[in-house]
């Protein structure tokens, strides 16, 4: 296998990785209610940001928060699916894992809302 073959192989693997990632995101959007809610709020935040002309620094904060919430929701959904795969019966550790993953999304979402209010309220008033 020549060096050009290795390069093509690595490129193909990267493209497959992107394809799997997009497939996972697509499934989450189609199947997870909370992901739909997060994306709705994402659209509202982006629209408000455009209408109220937030600064570049504020855009950076908003985009990091949006990415964080969506990423945590994907991780939360993954944990829930994995727990459901392992056991269909009630188990306190399964509940604990699901609750803790949900709490991570909840806490980051609350912090995101607070930061969003700090950015948007002065412009609305």
Average model confidence (pLDDT) across the chain: 92
The pLDDT value given to residue 1: 46
- Domain boundaries 32-124, CATH class: mainly alpha
pLDDT of residue 58: 98
- The model carries a pTM of 0.85
CA–CA distances in Å: residue 30 to residues 25, 26, 72: 9, 6, 17
pLDDT of residue 6: 60
Of 32, 58, 73, 88, the active-site residue reads 73
Between CA 18 and CA 107 the distance in angstroms is: 29
Tell me, yes or no, if 73 is annotated catalytic.
yes
């Amino acid at each position: 296998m020549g060096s050009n073959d290795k390069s093509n192989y690595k490129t193909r693997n990267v493209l497959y990785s992107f394809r799997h990632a997009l497939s996972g995101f697509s499934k989450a959007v189609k199947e997870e209610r909370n992901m739909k809610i997060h994306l709705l709020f994402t659209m509202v935040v982006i629209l408000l940001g455009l209408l109220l002309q937030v600064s570049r620094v504020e855009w950076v904060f908003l985009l990091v928060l949006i990415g964080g919430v969506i990423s945590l929701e994907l991780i939360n959904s993954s944990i829930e699916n994995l727990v459901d795969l392992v056991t269909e019966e009630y188990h306190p550790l399964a509940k604990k894992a699901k609750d803790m993953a949900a709490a991570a999304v909840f806490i980051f979402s609350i912090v995101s809302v607070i930061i969003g209010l700090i950015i948007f309220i002065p412009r609305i008033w």
